[in-house]
């Protein structure tokens, strides 16, 4: 007897890490709009779990159908939707966060892949440096201005993000300087 085979065309009830990102962000700014969630992501865990904006229009609706979120809609004008956690949602989030089981951290770096395959690091270093320095500046500013009032989790994540981008900056400086620097 095949266990737990999902029937016909039902939407899958499974929660992915992205689902928990949504639940977690909603908790921070409920009642939350999709756009608000996207903006919050960009200045928070975007570094550790990127999510495209379109997902915030789809996933919360799905989570609402599954009973993890409450959905309300404006009557007037834009008829925007706003989400907040249900008890079920809060519980699911706490359970997941409390479970120390995690998949390993993973990295995907097309630039380093090219270096590995023999590319001249110098031009890659230029754009990579710009990228990481830009983010670093943003994160450092955020820590300075908001650090004091942040909860511990977000602050630790922010500090780690800063260290992460610093590493890349150092690394790309070395890579750009080494190797075949023809100018």
Partner DNA sequence: GGGTACATGTAATCAGTTACATGATTTA
Partner DNA sequence: TAAATCATGTAACTGATTACATGTACCC
Binding site for DNA (CB under 7 A): 6, 12, 14, 16-18, 33-36, 39, 50-55, 57-58, 61, 77-81
Is the CB of 32 or the CB of 125 nearer to DNA?
A: 32
CA distance 46 to 135: 11
Residue 148: contacted member of a copy of itself, DNA, none (CB under 5 to 8 Å, by partner type): none
CA 150 to chain centre: 18
Binding mask 62-101 for a copy of itself (x = CB under 8 A): -------------------------------x--xxx-x-
> C-alpha angle 13/78/18, rounded to 5°?
25
| DSSP string across 21-83 | HHHHHHHHHSSB-HHHHHHHHHTTGGGTS---TTHHHHHHHHHHHTTSEEEEE-SSTT--EEE
Phi–psi pair at 164, nearest 5 degrees: -60, -50
Is the CB of 67 or the CB of 153 nearer to a copy of itself?
A: 153
Site membership for a copy of itself, residue 119 (CB under 8 A): yes
CA distance 146 to 91: 28
Site membership for a copy of itself, residue 118 (CB under 8 A): yes
Instruction: Give the binding site for a copy of itself (CB under 8 A).
Output: 17, 20-21, 24, 44-45, 47-50, 93, 96-98, 100, 102-119, 121, 123-124, 126-128, 131-132, 151-154, 156-157, 160, 163-164, 167-168, 170-171, 175, 178-179
């Amino acid at each position: 007897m095949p266990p737990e085979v999902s029937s016909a065309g039902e939407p899958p009830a499974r929660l992915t890490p992205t689902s928990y990102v949504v639940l977690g962000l909603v908790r921070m700014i409920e009642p939350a709009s999709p756009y608000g969630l996207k903006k919050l992501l960009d200045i928070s865990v975007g570094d550790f779990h990127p999510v495209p904006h379109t997902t915030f229009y789809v996933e919360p609706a799905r989570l609402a159908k599954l009973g993890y979120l409450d959905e309300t809609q404006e009557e007037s004008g834009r008829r925007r939707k706003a989400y907040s956690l249900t008890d079920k949602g809060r519980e699911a989030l706490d359970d997941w966060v409390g479970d120390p089981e995690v998949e390993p951290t993973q990295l995907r770096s097309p630039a380093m892949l090219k270096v590995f395959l023999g590319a001249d690091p110098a031009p890659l270093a230029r754009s990579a440096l710009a990228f990481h320095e830009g983010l670093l500046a943003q994160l450092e500013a955020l820590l300075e201005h908001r650090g004091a009032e942040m909860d511990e989790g977000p602050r630790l994540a922010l500090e780690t993000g800063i260290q992460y981008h610093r590493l890349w900056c150092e690394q790309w400086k070395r890579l750009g300087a080494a190797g075949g620097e023809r100018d």
